[in-house]
Structure 1
Amino acid sequence: MPSLSIFGKRVRQLWHGADLALVGQRRERRMRMLASLVMVGMGVLWGLFFLSHGYTAIALMDLAIILSGVAVFLLTLRNRALSANLVLFGALLVVVVASTLLLDPPTLAAPRATHLYLLPMAVAALMAFRDEPMGLRYGISLFCLLLFVALAASTWRPTDLHALPDEVRVVGSWVQALVAMLMFFFLLHILQTDTAERSELDRDLRAAVRERQFVLHYQPQLNGANRVIGAEVLIRWLHPQRGLLAPGEFIDHAEHTGLIIPIGHWVLEQTAEQLHQWQDEPLYRDIDLAVNISQKQFSQNSFVAEIAGLIERHRIDAQRLELELTETLIVHDMEDLTRKMTALVERGVRFSLDDFGTGFSSLSHLKRLPLSKLKIDRSFICDVLSDANSEAIVRSVIALGQSMGMTVIAEGVETEAQRHFLASNGCNQFQGYLLGRPMPLADFRAFVQRHNG
């Protein structure tokens, strides 16, 4: 059964080829949502328990836990990870410390146990704030540990007025100690697994850079006459064990580790070489190639010299090279950005603003930058026919681009109805699965021959 064997091998490749960086992000999201649900569940459980025993004040504190859990859940759904984490850890710290000091004073019959939750919280902070500044990540973790030491080594409490009776705390001490240690063990396991996965991804990606395991795919860009006018260059990782991996499966890790710089340099070199080869082919020499530029790549002091060297070394028409910037990049250092863009535009290079409408750019930014093209983000195109807000945004972006003398291209076009709407509103350049998926060079050449030949 060779076909089944091949199929099984491919399934295993796809499974093992899951993006390790994204897996970590999804795991964090699931853990945060699980934590929020645990907060709600524990708040409801203990709230009902204490309310039934007449401890109204404590039940109100459990209500605060429930509300905090709901807030964390909603913030996570909206992908506001940092805000969700800050609310989560802030609420838990207040509750744990207040409960330890006010409700859980150590006695001979029932030792203090609530402070044990600070141990898994210290480990969880290392995971939750992994991509934040080191001061925030390690500061919160160390703060949890210092609080644990202070509470474990002291019997001090501000008052005994709110202390729970020993018959309640004896059972609670066993339950809380067991739950806290299970959480501690579980989080240590997750942290170790995550570290191993990131180490494996880092090792494989460094080998990929050394051994040039990357290939380029091209997604066609067409005009209103259905002719190919350009393509977006998209990198793929041809992993020796996992097969062909999309950029979303390794680019984030490359950004965090700085490997995006040699990877980005390789993409630019290959793009320039391709433009050089096409200069002698009438069917392809007028096709533009667009390359995404990362923030780390652009912020290099040598970036302008690198692009200028590519143009000179490969003897290409610089107007055929389009560098795509994201909105998040243009808000970091406007002076440096404007200076570098102007220097490259003077050499003929063109710039486009990718994913327009999803970041933080403003009209003041746009008018200062020498941009030649705006790309309408796919998130607006996908529901432009069903959502009035998306429709209004798309119309506004098209009008804005035209008024500022820029070309407007829509990405993520998947239906003829979307394309008709865009064309009727003045957008005459399109990119998306309706027109063509990212494809290897040979397929792209055949695609151009069919449309432009």
Structure 2
Amino acid sequence: MKQAEDYSHRFRLAYGMAALAVGALAAGWAIVFAFMQAWSLVVMDGAVVMVAFISFVLAHRHQFSAALLFSQASFFIITIVFCLLFDVPSAAAPRVSHLFLLVLALLGYINYRRENSGLQLGIVGLCLAAFVIFTSTNAVLPFAEPIADHFRLYGSWLNTIIAVIMLCGGVYVMQREFARDLDQAREIKAALTNREFELFYQPQVNETGRLTGAEALLRWKRPGGTYTSPADFIPIAEQAGLMPRIGGWVLTQACKTLAAWQQEEATRGLKLAVNVSVDQFMEADFVDAVLNRIRTLEINPTLLKLELTESMMATDVDAIVGKMRALRAAGITISLDDFGTGYSSLSHLRQLPIHEIKIDRSFVQDAPGNKRNRLLLKSIFDIANMLELSVVAEGIETQEQLLLLKSFGCTAFQGFHFGRPLPLAEFQAQWTTDTSSPLAETA
């Protein structure tokens, strides 16, 4: 979304300016402490300047998540050291530097909402725990070098004001993020109502290049005629709990396409793969909903393929396996998507009632020039053969990648090398005009 991109750009710009402001403030204090010949404090402020500069450079290079993690971890350590060595509380002046730990925790939570990271959440927890300790105790190191009380008294006012201003800024940013997410969630709901979603179809071919099926991929056609990628709106839809509704629409449209294909000689045997989100799959009536669509539209269930991600393994495995077995018993193909990037283990592979695994594009793209990736790919095919699982390789963009995968015994392929996702009419016009020979000459 253009609006989301503009917001992200403004957020990065604001973060970069904040990093420069912190660096400038620390540089000013370093000059003051240098006049006082407090060289330990000069070194501390020098470290702050260095962290601020590196964070600014990372943000400027669009490595925003790295900049946030680096600055939070670094400032956490610097704040802890400063509290233990220099900001020693006394009857005349309280300790206030630990207030910046709340700022770091808030910044960490904002970033955690952007990218769910265990490391990010750990930093938030450490900041809050350290804040509680410094608030409740007079923790100090035995070799501390306390700043003079008269100077700390002045600094306590200034640091408290700065910390409060930064907290207010963080709360404002959070409010803007919540408002942005709510606006985008409303847009997505309106898109469902206004029928702005559309399915594109990307071909899946065999080793001869003949079309064997397709994957249905969701696109959002905006009123101006431009398309929005799922990567730009699916995360918001997941947070808003809209994936079961969106997924239900996708499944219905895909089943209607399959029903239409069954009526034509050129498309009668084509399989259609549909992605299913965790939230949609875990709906209590998901299996019944799938089977009802199959019965209503009189679809051959063996031509429907449901692609499930490995992230499902982080939830209720027993419930997932039970639903998979029910779907498999009905004749539906179960595929484990993005294999190698999630939670699956050999134990899970042995336990799951799946028909195939779909190798993630990250393994395919670097394989020709990366020995380790080639060995991993070969191992995946060996394991799949032992478990009697089919393998689909996606993300194929070059002839070199295709030949390598064929040498490993791969017989099912998907990627730009064969064709990009297309609207249904264009897909059928390009791929189903000739049934007497392979439909793709690139293989």
Cα deviation for residue 302 of structure 1 reads 0.8
Are positions 1:255 and 2:246 aligned together? no
Cα deviation for residue 52 of structure 1 reads 8.8
- Relative distance call for 1:264 and 1:93 in structure 2 (3 A) is farther
Match of 1:183 in 2: 166
For 1:312-331, list aligned pairs within 5 A.
312-331=295-314
Counterparts of 2:172 and 2:21, CA distance in 1: 19
Counterparts of 2:306 and 2:324, CA distance in 1: 10
Counterparts of 2:413 and 2:183, CA distance in 1: 38
For 1:109-258, list aligned pairs within 5 A.
114-117=97-100, 120-121=103-104, 123-130=106-113, 162-165=145-148, 169=152, 172=155, 176=159, 179-180=162-163, 183-240=166-223, 243-258=226-241
Q: 1:94 aligns with which of 73, 80, 84?
A: 80
CA offsets, 1:150-180, max 9 Å, x none?
A: 69xx9x8879973313675477557645653
Counterparts of 2:311 and 2:139, CA distance in 1: 48
How much is the aligned-residue C-alpha RMSD, in angstroms?
A: 4.5
Q: 1:398 aligns with which of 371, 378, 381?
A: 381
- Relative distance call for 1:393 and 1:157 in structure 2 (3 A) is closer
CA offsets, 1:345-391, max 9 Å, x none?
A: 01000111111111121111101112111111111111111112211
CA offsets, 1:409-429, max 9 Å, x none?
A: 111100111111111221121
- Relative distance call for 1:36 and 1:368 in structure 2 (3 A) is farther
Counterparts of 2:107 and 2:340, CA distance in 1: 34
State the secondary structure of the residue aligned to 1:114: coil
* Consecutive unaligned residues in structure 2, runs of 5 or more: 437-443
Q: Contact (CA 8 Å) 1:231, 1:290: kept in 2 or not? A: yes
Q: Contact (CA 8 Å) 2:102, 2:131: kept in 1 or not? A: no
CA offsets, 1:121-150, max 9 Å, x none?
A: 4643552344779xx89x969959986996
Counterparts of 2:30 and 2:172, CA distance in 1: 31
Match of 1:294 in 2: 277
CA offsets, 1:167-195, max 9 Å, x none?
A: 75477557645653553454344223322
- Relative distance call for 1:32 and 1:399 in structure 2 (3 A) is farther
- Relative distance call for 1:88 and 1:406 in structure 2 (3 A) is same
Cα deviation for residue 301 of structure 1 reads 1.3
* Consecutive unaligned residues in structure 1, runs of 5 or more: 1-13
Are positions 1:273 and 2:256 aligned together? yes
State the secondary structure of the residue aligned to 1:385: helix
Q: Which residue type is aligned with residue 198 of structure 1? A: D
Q: Which residue type is aligned with residue 15 of structure 1? A: K
Match of 2:286 in 1: 303
- Relative distance call for 1:34 and 1:322 in structure 2 (3 A) is farther
Q: Contact (CA 8 Å) 1:100, 1:112: kept in 2 or not? A: no
The sequence identity of aligned pairs, in percent, is 33
- Relative distance call for 1:158 and 1:228 in structure 2 (3 A) is closer
- Relative distance call for 1:130 and 1:305 in structure 2 (3 A) is same
Match of 2:363 in 1: 380
For 1:3-22, list aligned pairs within 5 A.
15-16=2-3, 18=4
- Relative distance call for 1:358 and 1:343 in structure 2 (3 A) is same
Q: Which residue type is aligned with residue 338 of structure 2? A: D
Counterparts of 1:171 and 1:38, CA distance in 2: 20
Q: Which residue type is aligned with residue 80 of structure 2? A: V
Are positions 1:344 and 2:327 aligned together? yes
For 1:358-377, list aligned pairs within 5 A.
358-377=341-360
Q: Contact (CA 8 Å) 2:357, 2:392: kept in 1 or not? A: yes
Q: Which moved more, 1:394-403 or 1:358-367?
A: 394-403
Aligned length: 425
Q: Contact (CA 8 Å) 1:105, 1:157: kept in 2 or not? A: no
Cα deviation for residue 312 of structure 1 reads 0.9
Q: Which residue type is aligned with residue 216 of structure 1? A: L
State the secondary structure of the residue aligned to 1:412: coil
Q: Which residue type is aligned with residue 330 of structure 1? A: M
Q: Which moved more, 1:45-54 or 1:372-381?
A: 45-54
Cα deviation for residue 278 of structure 1 reads 1.0
Q: 2:338 aligns with which of 329, 349, 355?
A: 355
Q: Contact (CA 8 Å) 1:101, 1:157: kept in 2 or not? A: no
State the TM-score, normalized to the length of structure 1: 0.77
Q: Which residue type is aligned with residue 282 of structure 1? A: E
Counterparts of 2:51 and 2:220, CA distance in 1: 42
- Relative distance call for 1:407 and 1:149 in structure 2 (3 A) is closer
Q: Which residue type is aligned with residue 315 of structure 1? A: E
- Relative distance call for 1:269 and 1:206 in structure 2 (3 A) is same
Q: Which residue type is aligned with residue 196 of structure 2? A: Q
Counterparts of 1:351 and 1:217, CA distance in 2: 21
Counterparts of 1:358 and 1:326, CA distance in 2: 9
State the secondary structure of the residue aligned to 2:367: coil
